[in-house]
Structure formats: structure tokens, C-alpha cells
Amino acid sequence: MIQSNGRKRVVISNVSPQIEGGQYPAKAVENETITVSADVFSDGHDEIDARVLFKHQDEQEWSSASMAFTVNDRWVAVLKLETTGFYQFKVQGWVDHFTTWQKGLQKKYEAGQDVNVELQIGAGLIRQAAEYAADSDKVELLNYHAGLQTQGDTASAVLTALSGELSAVMRRYRDEDLVSTYPQTMLIEVERKKAAFSTWYELFPRSAAPEPGKHGTFNDVKKLLPRVAKMGFDVLYFPPIHPIGEKNRKGKNNTLTPGSEDPGSPWAIGNRTGGHKAIHPQLGTLADFKSLVKEAKKLNIEVAMDIAYQCAPDHPYVKEHPQWFRWRPDGSVQYAENPPKKYEDILPINFETEDWENLWKELKSLVDYWIAQGVTIFRIDNPHTKAFSFWEWMIREVRKTNPDVIFLAEAFTRPLLMERLAKAGFNQSYTYFTWRNTKYELEEYMRELTKTDMRYIFRPNFWPNTPDILSPFLSWGGENAHILRLVLAATLSSSYGIYGPVYEFCVNTPHPGKEEYTDNEKYEIKHWDWDQYTRIKEIIARVNIIRKNNPALHTTWNLEFAESSSDQIICYGKADPESKNNLIVVVNLDPYNTHGAHVKIPLWQLGIRPGVPYTVRDLLSGSRYRWQDEWNYVQLNPYEMPAHIFRVEQ
């Protein structure tokens, strides 16, 4: 035996989406359309056909979707997957002898050739199909077979042979022995919509007390929930809520000499009162936390928990599982370092421990524990400093039983590591958006995220700031900069978030020489006047309502840049074909000066006929403009409003 079946003539290659040769799934959310494509071709000049077989993990039978030829031997099918979980798909192709025969018959008949023998050949193909056919089609096929063989009226036999009805029934059958299948079965993971469309607000619960100088509690946060909901956020994310290490605790501004009142960094996790499964006593009880999570859900807000797999030196693990840490020859435990810098309040976990299996199980059990308390979203701290194989295993295992759980990767590191974490299973990722300010930088970065295979792997979550990052653009550009960066984050990416209070109140004094806030909330308790008026607060709320009401903003993948005549004015379109929701966003990237520009509206993508006037309505200001043709003028004063979010209304 030379090989299994040498009669199969169709070749299939370059199947997409295909992540690491099918090792990892492509990502989708419920009801998102996914385009499956492949190179499919055969030797010779015969017609071919192709299909995608797909099935959900819980299904036994494969469903089938016809593929359509596009160009250069590329075939595509558009799938819309409705159920969360894993789908498998495979691409198949075969020589379509019947269509080949039909086309030949037509040409010969039109050329006036004798087609009697041809009709007999076609009848033979129909009879053959009748053998594979479902009972319901057998009779019909045998009738066609008889019809084509009737000598006499050639014209009507040809008409029958080429009829759409016959083509339709014949397309259902083929010699399955001759069907080629691409050797790898690919995966698509379908998640709930929130994995792609989410609006995050970060705050430190300990700063939530209504009175200055007091340690905030979960109950204080509960009172802020209506405010968060009113501003349009649907994820409320807290830094770690666990007991904070007392040994080598950091003081204000990351100093090594804390006062006795200094609360320490929440990321230095664990002390004599407990570790990652415990709650910092001053925040309240587990019951308080669960009650907060429950209250939030009523307002359609999910609480996101921070998971930082690292320990303060007094974390219980250090004594209970010393084998999970590195020990120095002098008997001391190895703290985190970036020589010559030392981070003595933090112990990294040694993922090379020989006890790695127990370590992995314990780390997963933390996530399981908090899921049991009602948490559905986790923001993972610095995942790129923990083993990739661990994430792959942990996320897969958790999602087997809890497919709705979402993990956000807080990795600001090199491109391949960020991409790999996404492949390994993270459902959302922090990005380089924070440092992409110019039109060129933004367009280039968005192209990478939306027009490459990243689109199937890496779901961006755009953060203009975090407790660790105050970009120079924000610290120099004041409130105008905060507003325009928010509009960009909220309209370029379908998921975005802000480290909230400092953003709303435009706190933006950098720590000298660093891209970080001075008097950072990481090391001290703050008190916020939640009721103070700021222009940006109103705008945030409005932008979030616009996001909610416009399906075009519920995905990142539909982004298309449009030309603009100014380097300071960026313009892009987002369209949702199903709801016919078409937006054009224009942002002045300069926080200091008014700029005008001509922008080119992509009429044909919006279905607008050239020469016919159309209305664009600015969802931010409520103004309407009557436009005509492609190029139209916009002008934006950042002290009034640095952006338009136009909805196209014909």
C-alpha cells in the first residue's frame, strides 16, 4: 500500500484561522462572524468544491458550511457560532465532476456539437449520486437520470441538465471516498460577549471611605456602585484585597522606611493572618465581599479580582511550602530583584521547583476559591514573569468547568511574550496603547492588532493609565489629554478601562524621573471627593452610553482608518452591518490647539451613493451636519471637545 487513497486529487493548505498549527484556538465571542478560509485546488481544469465541517465540543455530529471561491484558489466560509465553548473545524475539498460536466455540456451545446453522448455521461453521474443519496432524493435523481437518457428532444434535455434544481440536489452528494481533508483539525473558542466588550473602572477599596483618614471597606465601595453604574462601567476592578505583608513593607512613594501607619502595597500579599485566600481585615469580611459582588451584579457590574502570584516574606506559603521558593546559601529566602535593585517586600515563586505539580494545583485552587465566592473576572498581575505552560494549563482547566471566567493579562513586555500569553488562553490583554500617541503610531498599532493573526488571538483592553503608568502625554496634556485619550481608548478598542479616581479628577503629577504617579495610591490611602464636578466625568459617562447604544463599538475588528488632511486629526470608521450602525470617529490628537482637517468618508462602505447628501450626527454634542461626497471638513477645539463620534444617518 503506497498511501491510504491516492485517488484524492484536491489539495488544501493555509487554513485560517490557524494558531500555532492548530495547537491553540482562535478566539471569538457568541454570534461573532468568523471567516474560515483556505487554499483549495486540484490538478487539471476540473471544477472543485469545498466545505467547512464544524462542531461544538458538546455535539456529536459535524455541521457543514459551503465554502465559496474568491480569488487565487482561496475559498472562504463565514461561520456564526452561537454557543460558548470550543468548536473544532476542518476544511474539505473535492473535484466536482457534475459541475465540470455541466459547464462542458453547455459550451459544447452552444458550439453546436452533438451532445448525445455527453447527456449519457451526465445521466451516469446522476445515477451514481442516487446511490449515495438520501432516500428522499433518490426518486428525484432517478427521474433526472431517466430524463437525460431520453433520446429525442436534446434542447429540453440540456435545459434540464443545466437547471438550478438539478444542480442543487446534485450539490448535496459526492463520492465521499474522494474527499480530501486538511490534516489538522483547528479550534475556535467561543466566549461570552463580555470577553470582547467590557468597560473597566479600577479603584482601591481602601480609599473608598467617606471620611478622610479612614481605611475604606467593601461596604464603602458598595455605596459607590450606583455612581460606577451611572458612569457606564460594567467591570469594577480592585487591586489585591488580601492581607498585606508586614515584613519589609514599603512606605509612601515606595520608600524602604514605612511608618507604623503605612498600609503597604496590596501586591505584597500575605502575612500571619493569611494569604491569597484571605481578605485584608480592614476591608471587611468574606461575607462583606460576597455581598458587594452580589450588589454589583444587580447593577450589571462584575467585580474583577487581581491575582498576583507572589508573596510577601511573611506569607504563610513560605513556611508551609518552602520548596516553592528559592533559598540562598546563607539560609535566607530569595526576594525579587533586578540587579542591583532589590525588592525585598516580594518573593517570586520558583516555577522550576521539582514540586511544580503541587504548586500548579495550589495556584489554580486560588482561582477556584474566588470563583466559588462569585468572582468571574480576574486581572492577572505580571503573567509574563510566570511560566507560560502553567497559564496554558491553569486557564484551560478553569474554563473547562467555568467557561464564563475571563482572564486579563497585565503584561507590559516584549511583543512575542504578550502574544504568547494570549495564545496560552488569556481572554483580554493590556496593550501598548498607553504609549501610542501620534496618528502614525495609532494607525500602525491598530493595523497590527486588527489586520494580522493577532485579531484571532489577542483581545486588546485599552488603558490610558494604570496605578503603575502615568504617561507623559497625560501628565503634560492635562484634562484635554485625558479626554482625548479616553475617547480613543473607548472607540478604537471594544474593551477599555481607566484607573478611575485619578483619571476622573485629572491627578497627573509624575514621580520625578518616572512615568508613574507621585504619592502613589499603591503605597498610601487616598480620599476622593466623589461629588466634585469635572468636565471629563460628564464626557466619560456620555462615551460609555454611546458605546452601549452603538453595536459598531462592540467589536475591535471592524476598525477602518479613513484619510485626513492633518497629522493631528485621526479619523476612523466602525460599522456593524447587521444593525446598519455606522460610526465615524474623528479625534484631535493635539491637547493644546484647535485643528481642522478634511476627512475622507468611505461612502461605498457605508452604502452612500456619491452626490447624495447624508447626515452625520455627533453623538457627543448632539449636533447634526449635512454632508455630501467624500471629503468633508471638521474642526476640533480641545478645550471644548477634542472629538466627534458621528453616527451616519441617511
Active centre residues (catalytic): 381, 410
How far apart are alpha carbons 305 and 326 in whole angstroms?
27
Q: Which is nearer to a second copy, 222 or 386 (CB)?
A: 386
Contact predicate 337/371, CB 8 Å: no
- CB of 265: closest distance to a second copy in angstroms? 20
Among 282, 373, 385, 518, binds a second copy (CB under 8 A): 385
238: contact with a second copy by CB under 8 A: no
How far apart are alpha carbons 257 and 628 in whole angstroms?
66
- CB of 106: closest distance to a second copy in angstroms? 8
Contact predicate 465/499, CB 8 Å: yes
43: contact with a second copy by CB under 8 A: yes
Q: Which is nearer to a second copy, 184 or 615 (CB)?
A: 184
From residue 36, how far is each of 15, 70, 152, 186, 454 by CA, in Å?
7, 12, 46, 10, 15
∠129-131-134 over CA atoms, to 5°? 85
From residue 242, how far is each of 42, 261, 588 by CA, in Å?
62, 18, 42
From residue 521, how far is each of 8, 111, 180, 619 by CA, in Å?
66, 84, 61, 34
- How is the beta sheet containing 624-627 ordered, strand by strand? 560-562, 569-576, 581-588, 643-649, 614-618, 624-627
How far apart are alpha carbons 403 and 95 in whole angstroms?
40
Q: Which is nearer to a second copy, 168 or 416 (CB)?
A: 416
Q: Which 516-575 positions form the footprint of a second copy (CB under 8 A)? A: none
Task: Judge whether 106 is annotated as a binding position.
Answer: no
Residue 550's contacts (CB-CB under 8 Å, 6 or more residues apart) are 576, 581, 583, 619, 647
69: contact with a second copy by CB under 8 A: no
Residue labelled with grid coordinates 482625548: 484
Q: Which is nearer to a second copy, 380 or 559 (CB)?
A: 380
Sign of CA dihedral 450, 451, 452, 456: positive
Among 73, 288, 368, 404, binds a second copy (CB under 8 A): 73
Contact predicate 581/650, CB 8 Å: no
626: contact with a second copy by CB under 8 A: no
- CB of 354: closest distance to a second copy in angstroms? 7
- CB of 23: closest distance to a second copy in angstroms? 8
Task: Judge whether 345 is annotated as a binding position.
Answer: yes
- How is the beta sheet containing 10-16 ordered, strand by strand? 10-16, 33-42, 74-80, 68-69
How far apart are alpha carbons 332 and 612 in whole angstroms?
77
- CB of 455: closest distance to a second copy in angstroms? 18
Q: Which 98-157 positions form the footprint of a second copy (CB under 8 A)? A: 103-105, 107-108, 110-111, 113, 117, 120-121, 124
- CB of 556: closest distance to a second copy in angstroms? 24
Q: Which 173-192 positions form the footprint of a second copy (CB under 8 A)? A: 178, 184
Among 152, 164, 259, 339, binds a second copy (CB under 8 A): 339
Identify each DSSP E strand in 465-505 by its residue range.
Answer: 495-499
Q: Which is nearer to a second copy, 214 or 364 (CB)?
A: 364
CA nearest 456: which of 433, 421, 422, 408?
422
Task: Judge whether 310 is annotated as a binding position.
Answer: yes
Among 58, 211, 357, 531, binds a second copy (CB under 8 A): 357
Among 132, 356, 445, 530, binds a second copy (CB under 8 A): 356
Among 267, 360, 458, 462, binds a second copy (CB under 8 A): 360
330: contact with a second copy by CB under 8 A: yes
Among 162, 179, 229, 387, binds a second copy (CB under 8 A): 387
Among 86, 87, 324, 390, binds a second copy (CB under 8 A): 390
- CB of 534: closest distance to a second copy in angstroms? 39
> Stretches 38-46, 205-213, 234-242, 291-299: which one binds a second copy (CB under 8 A)?
38-46
How far apart are alpha carbons 179 and 114 in whole angstroms?
32
Provide the grid cell at 18: 490557524
Contact predicate 440/458, CB 8 Å: no
Residue labelled with grid coordinates 468633508: 632
In the chain, what is the greatest distance between 2 CA atoms, to the nearest angstrom? 106
Q: Which 407-466 positions form the footprint of a second copy (CB under 8 A)? A: 414-417, 420
Provide the grid cell at 517: 504617579
Helix boundaries (H) for 384-438: 388-401, 415-424
- CB of 352: closest distance to a second copy in angstroms? 5
Residue labelled with grid coordinates 493548505: 13
Task: Judge whether 250 is annotated as a binding position.
Answer: yes
Provide the grid cell at 241: 484585597
- CB of 371: closest distance to a second copy in angstroms? 19
Q: Which is nearer to a second copy, 458 or 646 (CB)?
A: 458
Distance of CA 82 to the CA centre of its chain: 16
Among 152, 164, 259, 329, binds a second copy (CB under 8 A): 329
Provide the grid cell at 93: 475539498
Q: What mask of x and - would describe binding to a second copy in positions 194 to 233, judged by CB under 8 A?
A: ----------------------------------------
Among 6, 152, 512, 611, binds a second copy (CB under 8 A): 6
From residue 119, how far is each of 78, 129, 164, 297, 452 by CA, in Å?
36, 15, 17, 68, 48
Among 26, 27, 29, 39, binds a second copy (CB under 8 A): 39
> Stretches 210-218, 248-256, 378-386, 548-556: which one binds a second copy (CB under 8 A)?
378-386
- CB of 327: closest distance to a second copy in angstroms? 10
Task: Judge whether 522 is annotated as a binding position.
Answer: yes
Among 83, 185, 353, 628, binds a second copy (CB under 8 A): 353
Annotated binding site for alpha-maltose 1-phosphate: 250, 310, 345, 382, 522-523
Binding site for a second copy (CB under 8 A): 1-3, 6-9, 11, 13, 20-21, 39, 41, 43-45, 72-73, 95, 103-105, 107-108, 110-111, 113, 117, 120-121, 124, 178, 184, 328-330, 332, 337-340, 348, 351-354, 356-357, 360, 384-390, 393, 414-417, 420
